[in-house]
Amino acid sequence: MRLLGWHIKNNIVRIVEIELVKPENPQVKTIFFRDELCSLAEPGQFIMVWIPGVDEIPLSLSYTSRDGLSSITVARVGEATRALTSLEAGDLIGVRGPFGLGFKIVGGSALIIGGGTGMAPLMMLIDKLVEKSIKVTVIEGAEDVNKLIFMDRLKDLSESKGVNVLFATKDGSYGSKGLATELAEELLHRREFDVIYTCGPERMIRRAYELAKLHSIDFQASLERYMRCAIGICGSCVIGRYRVCKDGPVFDVAKIKDVEKYLGNLKYNERGEMVPV
Amino acid sequence: MSKSVSSHNLRIRVAGLNMPNPTMLASGILGVSAETLRVVTEAGAGAVVTKSVGLKPSSGYPNPTVIQVECGFLNAVGLPNPGIHRFVEEIKILKDIGIPLIVSVFGFSPEEYAKTSSIAIEAGASAIELNLSCPHVKGTGAEIGQDPNMVKLTVKSVKDRVDKPVFAKLTPNTAHITELAEAAASAGADAITAINTVRAMAIDVETFKPILANKFGGLSGAAIKPIAVRCVYEIYETVNVPVIGCGGIRNWRDAVEFMLAGASAIQVGSAIAFEGLSIFRSICDGIDTYLKRKGFRSVGEIIGLAHKK
């Protein structure tokens, strides 16, 4: 008889000590810790971060290295993220994961469109694409110059790895004036790309998807929904016929097509009410 | 639909509901949206039970709400739901689902259970499963379901309002589950579902904190299976209505064990985390093979066989 374990290895909560907190901008911090399972994550996979006594939230990993060092990048938006961004080196958090399906590396030249902390999983993706010598163009979008993140990492990628890094700010305080997708649209008229990878506000993802369709290029997006179990049983994070935690968070073009009517439009909230995104 | 799942010998009629096979999706698992329930149906479930719904919307508890322990899962989700008035939109979409759609209902009084149930039935539900057993929300679930008198009142008030089958899902967090089963059956329950999760908790030793935001939750999975089998066995001996087994079922062997104990159908929940939705088909295939090997013509023949002297 087959011996049946009731353990999902990655799902055990590990308590880790924060090693370093790096401010990205006044609202966003990157929190480094050491965890072997996290460091083995694929770009686009996420973890559940427990802030003891406060909450547990899903976050994409923003950096991993072979020695176990891993990071999450989090913006102060609510009670949980306020608590998390107030933590310092030496404080303890719980992590479980990594979970879900990450980005699939496809050949050809890649256009990366990121907004806000949606840049986090894309940074890991860029590292991997560069490692595989894939030509990469990155557009990071933000409200204004003070909301941009990962500036030093992107500068390094641009200078030493030949990544084409572009910025778009709504107020024009840095890079092009306007939305990341507006800059992408311009770029797509001038240059050929084989795939768009994106993560960020869902309306931005929607617009990027429309551009991919228009130019008949491959597309992958990391989506977000209210999440509880992260292992595909509670049903909280469903979009259409898929569970974001298990069938995502990265959706390929076929899955995106199946959830087109929801993308950028509708989601279930924590009560299971269908509400506007 | 695959041959095994609809094969003739797996068909079973439970409390007036015709099921193509004895597997059901347990309440609280993936039962939030119509589209997900349809995916579970396509995967081969014989019936589906929705996530518990009440009269008014509720957000449930903050996370952590579902955590893994050595022998299963601990959850305290806190009955989040959009309220029955919004949930009817999901029920209506499932009119053509082809298998029984059972809506799980909770309330803070017998009247609330009855009102919510009647709205669910009006929207098209095939049956109601009364959540008399959630171990972690004040004023409902097990707090009502541990008192035989309240069980009786609740089942009766629902039966007075709806003309479809009503299941009572019972809690193992009691000295005598048979008293609860008798109370439910005497008030007209058409079936007993046993069991819900076992009240439990986990504490993190590094941070000295209970891990679940609600501190207490319900244990599911492997650890509770023998408890559930015992409950089903006892209830089968006590009442004359069908029993639906639930608790730690992961494969055909578990399912058969529950049926031998007296279950007419079985519910699958936590194990989906390990086996995925193909679990419904693999349990059905396994039961089918078992029936042939043992020389039974229908799955109904094995119900309660462990009671034979």
Below-50 pLDDT ranges, chain A = 1-3
A 221-260 residues with CB below 8 A of B? 228-236, 238, 240-241, 243
Predicted complex ipTM: 0.94
**Chain A residue closest to B211 (CA)?**
A52
**In B, which residues are within 8 Å of A268 by CB distance?**
32-33
pLDDT at B6: 58
Amino acid in position B15: A
Q: Which of A90, A10, A17 is nearest to A46 (CA)?
A: A10
Tell me the torsion sign for CA atoms B144, B150, B156, B161.
negative
Token representation of residue A264: 């950028």
**Chain A residue closest to B60 (CA)?**
A271
Q: Which of B179, B205, B210 is nearest to B192 (CA)?
A: B179
**In B, which residues are within 8 Å of A232 by CB distance?**
272-273, 276
Neighbours of B130 (CB within 10 A): 30
* Interface A-B: count of C-beta contacts within 8 A: 128
Indicate the residue of A6, A56, A92 with minimum beta-carbon distance to B206: A92
**In A, which residues are within 8 Å of B76 by CB distance?**
none
Name the one residue in this structure whose structure tokens are 């960020």: A200
Collapsed DSSP state (helix, strand, coil) of residue B218: strand
Element (H, E) at A152: helix A151-161
pLDDT at B5: 58
Q: Which of A135, A271, A246, A147 is nearest to A201 (CA)?
A: A147
pLDDT at B4: 44
Q: Strand pairing of A55-64 and A14-23?
A: unpaired
Q: What is the CA radius of gyration of chain B?
A: 18
Collapsed DSSP state (helix, strand, coil) of residue B32: coil
Is A95 at the interface with chain B, CB within 8 A? no
Is B93 at the interface with chain A, CB within 8 A? no
Name the minimum distance, in Å, from the CA of A56 to any CA of chain B.
Answer: 5
Give CA–CA dist B111/B238, Å, rounded: 27
Inter-chain touch A270–B39, beta carbons under 8 Å: no
Name the one residue in this structure whose structure tokens are 């990450």: A102
pLDDT at A107: 85
Is B1 at the interface with chain A, CB within 8 A? no
Token representation of residue A167: 């910025």
pLDDT at A139: 98
Name the minimum distance, in Å, from the CA of A225 to any CA of chain B.
Answer: 14
Name the one residue in this structure whose structure tokens are 């992107």: A154
Indicate the residue of A8, A234, A271 with minimum beta-carbon distance to B68: A8
Name the minimum distance, in Å, from the CA of B190 to any CA of chain A.
Answer: 27
* pLDDT tens, residue by residue, B62-116: 999 999 998 999 999 999 999 999 999 999 999 999 999 999 999 999 999 999 9
Token representation of residue A180: 């990341």
Below-70 pLDDT ranges, chain B = 1-6
Inter-chain touch A272–B33, beta carbons under 8 Å: yes
Q: What is the mean pLDDT of chain B?
A: 96
